[in-house]
Chains A and B, each alone.
Chain A
Amino acid sequence: MNFDKELDARGLNCPLPILRSKKTLNEMTSGQVLKIIATDPGSVKDFAAFAKQTGNELMSSAEAAGEYTFMIKKK
């Protein structure tokens, strides 16, 4: 899947992955896609909740080898 920007949130714990993502999204334009890689197991539900509450679209959420990858399209 194509993306416009990537954020490495590996090793960061709550709430930093969400805060860094929000900050990065602020620098992007509507329709652009942000890819986030995280290791915090809580981030799976957190990114779904973040997307739901902010209106940004969570296009995909995947786990592989203890790493979580999220694709978020900016509103």
Chain B
Amino acid sequence: MDEKKLAIIATKGTLDWAYPPFILASTAAALGYETQIFFTFYGLQLVRKDVSGLKVSPIGNPGMPMKMPFGPKWFKDINWNIPNALQCVIPGYESVATALMKQTIANNGVATIAELRELCQEADVKFLACQMTVELFGFEHSDFMDGLDYVGAATFFEFAGESDICLFI
């Protein structure tokens, strides 16, 4: 049986959206898929050397539960429904929301992004970075982790065209 192939295009650069590409890629690799991720536009943030600066923004995201990761259960169960207009004027709102999200992630035994990314690399998931976006955003190759191939869309299609599953995230 030929090895199945998974191709992922990662376009988002926030902490929450960093999860789907790395979870799916690492799991696919564990299932025997040959896997590639093409990081483009804001997705490039996921292959910076240091991903500890990734943030999550609750602003304009009505799907995000705002719950506290500490305290008694009745307190944790409260959904802090804060209006967008207010979220926008509170300084450091995103940083606080990010810190709370990271605590929730740790409480639930969910891996960190750095950990999942490393697991992907150990499992030979290939990372491609969009050279055009690197230039567009004024990045240098030295801003990024080792082991990236800097390519264009045509190179991605070489693999994606033969893939069994192709996801745009």
User: Contact residues of A with B, CB < 8 Å?
Assistant: 11-16, 18-19, 21-23, 40, 50, 53-54
Contacts and interface: CB of A to CB of B under 8 A. Distances in A.
Interface of B: 23, 26-27, 30-32, 108-111, 119, 122-123
Q: Is the interface of A mostly helix, strand, loop or mixed?
A: helix
B108 A15 contact: no
A15 B125 CA distance: 15
9 contacts: A11-B109, A13-B111, A14-B23, A16-B110, A18-B27, A19-B27, A19-B123, A22-B30, A53-B32
A13 B30 contact: no
- Quick one: which of A13, A15, A16 has the most chain B CB within 10 A? A15
B32 A13 contact: no
A51 B154 CA distance: 35
A19 B30 contact: yes
Contact of A18 (B30, B108, B122): B30
A1 to B, nearest CB: 24
A16 B30 contact: no
Nearest to B4: A53
A15 B32 contact: no
Nearest to B120: A19
A54 B32 contact: yes
A15 B123 CA distance: 14
A58 to B, nearest CB: 14
B167 to A, nearest CB: 15
Contact of B26 (A15, A21, A40, A54): A15
Given A14-B23, A15-B23, A19-B119, A53 B108 contact: no
Contacts of A23: 122
